[in-house]
Structure 1
Amino acid sequence: MKKIILLPLILSAFSLSGCISGATEKPTKIMTKAELGQSLFFDINLSANRTQSCATCHSPEQGFADPRDNGVKGAVSLGDDGHSLGDRNAPTAAYAMFSPAFQLTIDGKYKGGQFHDGRENDLSGQAGGPPTNPIEMGMPSKQLTAERLQENTTYQIAFRALYGKDIFSDSEAAYAAMADSIAAFEKTELFAPFDSKYDRFLRGEYQLSEQEELGRTLFFSQQFTNCNQCHQLKSRPGAEAETFSNYEYHNIGIPENSAARKINGVAEGYKDIGLLNNPAVNDPAQAGKFKVPTLRNVAVTGPYMHNGVFQDLRTVVLFYNKYNSRNAARQINPESGTQWQQPEVIENISLQELESGPALNDQRIDALVAFMHTLTDQRYELAGQK
């Protein structure tokens, strides 16, 4: 795999490791917000036990997803306390900058926001969530987080230069500034290089294989698949900077991840109602809906679905295909060898979208998987090879 090249910090003496260890050398030049955000993104001192950073669950070496097994085959993330497990899969932070603010569209659909349920409007809101989440980074309060920031002299100088000399007199403001600078880092090209085989194909720099081309044709077809109904943002196939999500919300009938639930302590009978967990939503018709994820780097950011219930990308395509196939074999989950489990939330399933298009044979399923592999950023291509 190609080495990940991060933003060049302007100080030769100030490295990421220096930040993590609490370096206090005075810089010769003030950092930009993105450079400050980069340091904060990797700083384990912003977790209660000083063991976990943003990059722990959003690793730049793994498509900005969580590469750890965590005792649950990577389905959900382990917290800073060493034993708490979440109930949702950590979504990739790559290309997250393109999700619009959470909104109810003119046609009555919810769209955008951050997290699986859109509960934060933007990247700053998302960045501010994990540090004080008790089962994630576990900091007791924003005030104590601001005090941790002040342990680092370099941070003190940068924050005051970028956000005002009195920034640390208000812990809420200091915390917001921290989130704002992390968001600035997440808006850099590192998170969205648009240099996959697909992007290079659009620029005439890569020739798709016969299988990849079939997958591309099927993906954007209005007749043979339903993929692009949700995983296409631009108005026409082949548009540059396509993020492969319309950022809307759907219940596609995902089953409970019972294996993870046996370990993470979630009460028996609990149902993750998705979008209805968003404080801005009170419509029962939104229960069980989750934001359509980007397909960028999908081949290297498994496991899949909001709860990490599926391990393999081909399983995901087969899961969608079960809605259109009468073949008994297509009603079997290849990972368990048993029938697909019932949806966790049986109401509000997007059957109109899911049941459109014919059933797919193995050749077409494999072609779609091959096409999705072409959406892998160039630096991860070796990791995504089978």
Structure 2
Amino acid sequence: MHIHTRHNTLLFLLLLLATYSNANNTDDTRHTPIKEQLGQQLFFDPNLSFNRTQSCATCHAPDRAFTDPRDNGVQGAYSLGDDGHSLGDRNAPTAAYAMFSPDFTFNKEGKYIGGQFHDGRENNLAGQAGGPPTNPIEMGMPNKRVIAKRLQENPFYLSAFKSLYGDNIFTNAENSYAAMADSIAHFERTELFAPFDSKYDRYLKGEYKMTEQEELGRTLFFSQQFTNCNLCHQLNKSQRHPQETFTNYEYHNIGIPTNIEGRKKNGVPIDTADTGLLNHPQVDDPKQAGKFKVPTLRNIAVTAPYMHNGVFQNLRTVVLFYDKYNSRSSKRQINPETGQVWATPEVPQNLSIKELETGPALDDQRVDALVAFMKTLTDKRYEHLLNNNE
């Protein structure tokens, strides 16, 4: 996707127009911008980055399931910043279905859940939207005051912000920045980000018949007798819930190894441990080190690479990685992408052993069936990408 392009495909534009025509169909609001429209404009605006080269859509491209489609010299593991050379140390998560993540909290079961980013450090979508513009290795803006000035360069923004947030919205940079983030969050709550129209959703409506392999994968996925998948990747306990996001929004350490090749290129010392949830400003419990938020499996087959650090390139590799905890087969102890024994965890303590060791080992047929089922979780408009991710 070209970073200056505001509408990536004709299909995307048509979907966008349909969304707004439904949301803005009364006479008294016909000529007044709504927050979703303002947020859409902001989401695609490269002027919110220091060198005017990068927008939210650069790392969350709508034609690639709202992930970063660029290689960036690290096989897509990390995103490249507006300065043209800075690389992050985590894989950009999809913005699709992110609206359903609850605010970050410590629940009654004694578990941290929700929030945005891999470590939940922002409570909600607005908090997430406000992060990248002032991050020095992302969009690189020096402060909120400079961003407020950039916003006022655009006549549409001047009018829309005042209309939606009050005439004095630009008198305070904190307020105008919060309004910007709020508008983007409103856009990210539109149906465009969560259409629930995959083959799985159509199957639930009786509009799609799963293949034998997909049906086997579905059965395995939802069965605690045969896999451990749904311990973390099922929110609604009914197998036929129409809006299953395939994550319980908890945090777990599953033993992901360091992305050594990525670290060699982004300059982060290889022996530096990303402690995940422990990076959250509200978390100081060492037992949370190495835990990351369980991601949605929606569009998982078209959003490689995988894990918080993009260390795995193939979805089948991910399934095999989980299976190594239960299989005694020597074959299962080998990472098929490297041909070597699975590398040791970046953070070896606090592993979710109970969850990881639930269920029997999987043979190749069942591994392939699980991958086939996860492909059915692809939104309809991204199904053409499946052949590119074999």
Q: TM-score of the superposition, structure 2-length normalised?
A: 0.93
Contact 1:229–1:353 (Cα < 8 Å) also in 2: yes
Superposed CA offset, 1:253-300 (max 9, x none): 000000000010113421000000000100000000000000000000
Q: Which residue of 2 aligns with 1:19?
A: none
Please state how far the C-alpha of 1:10 moved relative to its aligned partner. 11
Q: Which residue of 2 aligns with 1:126?
A: 128
Structure 1 residues 319, 144: CA separation in 2 closer, same or farther (over 3 Å shift)?
same
In structure 2, distance between residues paired with 1:9 and 1:155: 22
Of 35, 39, 42, 1:40 maps to: 42
Please state how far the C-alpha of 1:4 moved relative to its aligned partner. 2.0
The amino acid across from 1:204 in the alignment is G
Of 31, 37, 53, 2:55 maps to: 53
Of 3, 6, 12, 2:11 maps to: 3
In structure 1, distance between residues paired with 2:42 and 2:100: 21
The amino acid across from 1:156 in the alignment is L
In structure 2, distance between residues paired with 1:165 and 1:239: 44
Superposed CA offset, 1:291-326 (max 9, x none): 000000000011000000000000000000000000
Contact 2:162–2:169 (Cα < 8 Å) also in 1: yes
Q: Which residue of 2 aligns with 1:70?
A: 72
Q: Which residue of 2 aligns with 1:228?
A: 230
Pair 1:381-2:390 in alignment: no
In structure 2, distance between residues paired with 1:222 and 1:326: 20
Pairs aligned (count): 370
Please state how far the C-alpha of 1:9 moved relative to its aligned partner. 9.4
Q: 1:211-360 maps to which residues of 2 (within 5 A)?
A: 211-360=213-362
Contact 1:30–1:157 (Cα < 8 Å) also in 2: no
In structure 2, distance between residues paired with 1:372 and 1:220: 12
In structure 2, distance between residues paired with 1:64 and 1:7: 14
Instruction: Give every structure 1 segment of 4 or more consecutive aligned residues whose post-TM-superposition deviation is greater than 3 Å.
Output: none
In structure 2, distance between residues paired with 1:345 and 1:199: 36
In structure 1, distance between residues paired with 2:302 and 2:10: 14
Structure 1 residues 363, 10: CA separation in 2 closer, same or farther (over 3 Å shift)?
closer
Q: Which residue of 2 aligns with 1:23?
A: none
Q: Which residue of 2 aligns with 1:184?
A: 186
The amino acid across from 1:29 in the alignment is H
Superposed CA offset, 1:342-386 (max 9, x none): 000000000000001000000000000000000000000011134
The amino acid across from 1:336 in the alignment is T
SS of the aligned residue for 1:360 comes to coil
Pair 1:140-2:142 in alignment: yes
Please state how far the C-alpha of 1:237 moved relative to its aligned partner. 1.4
Contact 1:7–1:35 (Cα < 8 Å) also in 2: no
Identity of aligned residues (%): 70
Gaps (5+ residues) in structure 2? Answer: 1-8, 21-29
In structure 2, distance between residues paired with 1:234 and 1:265: 41
In structure 2, distance between residues paired with 1:308 and 1:191: 22
Contact 1:299–1:384 (Cα < 8 Å) also in 2: yes
